[in-house]
Amino acid sequence: MGCWFSKKSKRKSPDKEATTTVEENTTTGNNISLSSNATEEPPKQYSWDKREKVDPKDFMLTGLKDATVGRLPGKLNGQQFVIQDCDNCKIFVLDHSATITIDDCTNCCIVMGPVKGSVFFRDCRDIKCVVACQQFRTRDCQKMEVFLCCATQPIIEASTGMKFGCFQYYYPELAFHFKDAGLSIFNNNWSNVHDFTPVSGETNWSLLPEDTVVLDHVPAPDPESEFKSVRVSAEASRSIVPMTKGGRRKESDESCLFVFFAGEYTTANARKLIDEASGKGFVLIQTKEVSMRPEDVSRVFQNNAEGLLEWITNGPVTALELNGDGVVEACKSMASEVFSGTKVFVSDNRNTSSRDVDNFFNFADMQMGL
């Protein structure tokens, strides 16, 4: 059991439309035509005529070497972007975009703001990057280090020497860019990589060490560059995306499911929980934000479903798996002491907590097609 704690006469001539004003002459009694003013209707304007003209060059970086380049916040505003044939460059795309393709690049460090669709690397090698996207894919790539936030399962194809870590990055506009791109900071499948072309006896991808420092691999913008005014940080405590353990081995056999139901402060509450739990030595394994129907509630929460049905009507739920010895009792205490006025579900005891975790995250993965 869990806890819930927009007149003048007009005559048309063959070549124009004229407006003629006729007045009565009071002396002679004759009708005198005083004026005939020709006017032409302005051409119609359509919505596409009013659009600002787009220069494709503003949305691509190509053939660059030894340069620090990119786009500042507000320069892309959801457009597609292309990076190609760059060598030894530091690239900062600090805005949200529709899709980004990266072709034939070598020895580059790349930071990408949230991408609504796909990020696709092709024929690249020696790349270190920070990426947030809906879909992530590589083909014919070698030696990449990727600090990733991906809403779906990352896919590599004919690629070798691929290393993955959890997204850890911050700049002031990043949270807004996540929202504009339609990405949830809680849906991150960074470690659930699918190798489309596995080779028997070889490992084409692995996870970076947990203590990896992002800025040691993907340096901050140079002080003399145009990006110097952007306050960038890669500290896990400041990262917009929570740092999760992902597919690495858990240190403890005890995990706890903690679910926040939709409310005004759901994201802030989830962050507070992570901070509280981390301060007590517990580890965040995974997170998910997903919508639920009444039948889903019954399946996932089982005996606790009846008291939770009314809470799913306001929007998606946010769930966290926390791990560590004594985590269940600690989470119950935090629910009652820190989140007493908040709609939550917490595993009730360690004997059923693993089942709670499996039920919820298996359901969430199915909902997201993972």
Give the domain ranges of the chain: 56-216, 250-369
**Contact assessment for residue 221 and residue 92, using Cβ atoms and an 8 Å cutoff:** yes
Mean local confidence (pLDDT), 260-265: 91
Q: From 2.160.20.70, 1.10.8.80, 2.60.40.10, 3.30.930.10, which CATH number describes the 56-216 domain?
A: 2.160.20.70
91-124, pLDDT tens digit by residue? 999 999 999 999 999 999 999 999 999 999 999 9
* 39 pLDDT higher than 90: no
Alpha-carbon gap, residue 365 to 370, rounded angstroms? 5
Mean local confidence (pLDDT), 211-228: 92
- Which spans in 280-318 are helix H? 294-301
Alpha-carbon gap, residue 84 to 63, rounded angstroms? 7
The H-or-E segment that residue 284 falls in is strand 283-290
Percent of the chain with pLDDT over 70: 85
**Contact assessment for residue 260 and residue 318, using Cβ atoms and an 8 Å cutoff:** yes
Q: Higher pLDDT residue, 256 or 57?
A: 256
Mean local confidence (pLDDT), 35-52: 59
3-state class percentages of the chain: helix first, strand second, coil last, to nearest 5: 20, 35, 45
Q: 168: number of CA atoms within 13 Å, CB side? A: 24
From the annotation, which residues make up the binding site?
A: 117-118, 134-137
Query: Which CATH number does 250-369 carry?
Result: 3.30.70.141
Q: Among residues 326, 257, 250, which one has the least CA distance to residue 288?
A: 257
State pTM to two decimals.
0.84
Q: Higher pLDDT residue, 239 or 40?
A: 239
The gap between the terminal CA atoms of the chain, to the nearest Å, is: 28
Q: Higher pLDDT residue, 111 or 199?
A: 111
User: Which pair of tokens denotes residue 196?
Assistant: 């489309």
**pLDDT tier, 55 (very low <50, low <70, confident <90, very high otherwise):** confident
Q: Find all residues with CB under 8 Å of 59, minimum gap 6, and list them.
A: 76, 79, 80, 81, 82
* 35 pLDDT higher than 50: no
From the annotation, which residues make up the binding site for GTP?
A: 117-118, 134-137
